[in-house]
Structure formats: C-alpha cells, structure tokens
Structure 1
Amino acid sequence: MTTHAPVLPVWTCAGCGAPWPCPTRRRELLAEYEGAPVSLSIYMASRLVSATQDLSWAPAGTLHRRFLGWLP
C-alpha cells in the first residue's frame, strides 16, 4: 500500500504534500498498471471527475493535465 494517497478534498499527497498524483504516485501507478494503459486511463479519469467536484475553482485544463496529461 502506498503512502502517496490523495488527501481529500484538497487533493494533496499524504506522503509528500505535493499535488496528487505526485511524481512518486505516478511512477507507482505506471508500475501497477503496466500492460494495462486503458485501465489506468479509466482509473485516472474517474479520479479527475472526483477532483473536479472538490476543486471546482481550478481551471479544467489544469486538472486535465494533472490527472491525465502525464499518461503514456
């Protein structure tokens, strides 16, 4: 289990305090979903939907880059 989980509703990393998903969690997710990029995309898209509700003040493009823009 990772210590780099999101702290809700602010969406910061419990492990390092960076915006979630932090670089460490991104690496972990890529390893966890190795060979299943569509599943990772679906998971991160669901996290994006949740984050947009909590972070309604944040620009949509910023959240899109943060949650989906780093995916291969």
Structure 2
Amino acid sequence: MTSHGPVLPIWSCGGCDLPWPCPTRRRELRAEYADAPVSLALYLGAYLVQAAEDMPWAPAGALHRRFVGWTRQPPEVPQRSTATTPAERGKSVTRPNDL
C-alpha cells in the first residue's frame, strides 16, 4: 500500500506534501493500470469531481490537467543523447541546421 494518498480536503500528498497525485503516485498508478488506461482515467475522473467540490476556487482546467490530463501523456523516461552515438558506417547524418 502506498503512503502517497490524498489528504482531504486540501488534496496534498500524505507522503511528500506535494499536490496529489504527486509524481510518485502517478508512477504507481501508471504501473497499476498499465493495461487499463481508460480505467485509470475513470478512476482519476472520480477524484477530479470530488476535488472540484472541495476546491471550488481552483480553475477547472488546472484540476483537469492535475488529475486526468497527465494520463494521456507517455510516462517520463530519461532521454539518451544521440550526440555521442556514431552514425552507421556509410550513412550520413542530417542535422537540423543542414536542412
């Protein structure tokens, strides 16, 4: 069980005090719902409705991005730099400035 649950009615994370769902909880939810992205969005949509009732001063768009919007984005993964990757032998590399 996670310690990164919501603290109501302020909707902060009980584990790290960041706005809930925090980055840790988002990673956990992505893993838990890896094969069911629509279910994840519905689950978080229910929380969105409750949060909107608890925080009527919060802009609707900001709440949507916070609770549901991130579910459609691919998970953050470290990007490997291609600057040090050599081109395959016999193939040229096109750089943006060469276009």
TM-score range, shorter chain: over 0.9
TM normalised by structure 1 equals 0.98
Once residues 62 and 17 of structure 2 are traced to their aligned partners in structure 1, the CA distance between those partners, rounded to angstroms, is 18
Match of 2:45 in 1: 45
Q: Please tell me the root mean square deviation across aligned C-alpha atoms, in Å.
A: 0.5
1:1-72 map, 5 Å: 1-72=1-72
* Deviations, residues 1-56 of structure 1 (Å, cap 9, x unaligned): 00000000000000000000000000000000110001101000000000000011
**4+ long deviations beyond 2 Å:** none
| Greater C-alpha radius of gyration | 2
**What is the Cα deviation at residue 69 of structure 1?**
1.1
Percent identity between matched residues is: 65
Unaligned 5+ segments in structure 1 are none
One-letter amino acid of the structure 1 residue matched with residue 34 of structure 2: E
User: Size of the alignment, in residue pairs?
Assistant: 72
TM-score by length of 2: 0.72
Q: Give 1 or 2: higher helix fraction.
A: 1
Q: Whose relative contact order is higher, 1 or 2, with alpha carbons under 8 Å and at least 6 apart? A: 1
